[in-house]
Amino acid sequence: MTDAFQPNLDFTAAEQVDEREAFVVDLEGYEGPLHVLLALARTQKVDLLKLSITRLAEQYLAFVHEARRRNFSLAADYLVMASWLAYLKSRLLLPRTDKKDEEPPAEEMAAALAFRLQKLEAMRKAVETITSRPRLKRDVFTRGDPEATVIVPSDRIDASLYELMAAYVTQRRREGQRQYNPGQRVEAFGLEAARDWLRDILPRLEQWTPLEQVAPAHSGTEGPTQSSFTASTLSASLELVKEGAMDVKQAEAFAELYLKRRGRGQPLELMP
């Protein structure tokens, strides 16, 4: 059965055979089993729906055989397709049993395969027709120099879901890198903690105390830096000032800052 076709797959024979009939085993040229099947089906030169599936199966199996003989490492999907086609072919050739079968009739499966090939072929043709259309910036050109005051279609915002996704992932990646890099890690004295710290020592702040003395002291190499302690303590103290729990004063810009608990009924002290 395969005799009629087999020579075409043979490389030595292929050289003597008419180019159009030669079917050279070149896996690189194919995307997958369906693409190979489509190429094979074309050699039958019939309407894809009237395709001889048995013949197609033979051709494909011969193709796989040849490819393997030539030491191509065949992808699993080629082999899966081969076994399925062999199975389909055997079912098509065997006399039909009337036994209640769970599977659909082989003819139906064959027709469906032909349909799939037809569909792929249609898409192939579509690619050809679409790409032969006049293409922007290759065949047709829009205004090279639109007027300075461009009319911007105002009801459109150019942002696709893809861009949104991409923007999200980029940032999360950045975030991951930031957190992963220990060298860049800056441990800060949290505002929360600063507030708690202040509330704790507030009762003791009866006198004007410099900010530096109020802020927790940096110890060892671990933990937040002294400037973080100072900055957070200042921020937290301003909140407490706003709440009316304490006062703050500074003689002039860059001068020492003093903090003090606000006494009940005590008038706001003027700056010295």
Rg (CA), the chain: 40
Least gap, CB of 267 to other proteins (angstroms): 29
Distance from C-alpha of 216 to C-alpha of 225, rounded to nearest angstrom: 10
Work out whether strand 246-250 and strand 209-210 pair parallel, antiparallel, or are unpaired. unpaired
CB 205 within 8 A of CB 259: yes
Least gap, CB of 108 to other proteins (angstroms): 7
Distance from C-alpha of 166 to C-alpha of 18, rounded to nearest angstrom: 51
Least gap, CB of 183 to other proteins (angstroms): 15
Distance from C-alpha of 62 to C-alpha of 40, rounded to nearest angstrom: 11
Which residues, in sequence order, are CB contacts of 79 under 8 Å at separation 6+? Answer: 64
Tell me which residue has tokens 């490819």: 67
Least gap, CB of 61 to other proteins (angstroms): 5
Distance from C-alpha of 240 to C-alpha of 198, rounded to nearest angstrom: 9
What values do phi and psi take at 247, rounded to 5? -120, 160
Helix (H, G, I), strand (E, B) or coil at 250: strand
> Which stretch of DSSP H or E encloses residue 215?
none
Least gap, CB of 145 to other proteins (angstroms): 5
257 vs 8, 55, 188, 194, 264, CA distance in Å? 93, 94, 21, 16, 22
Least gap, CB of 110 to other proteins (angstroms): 10
Least gap, CB of 2 to other proteins (angstroms): 6
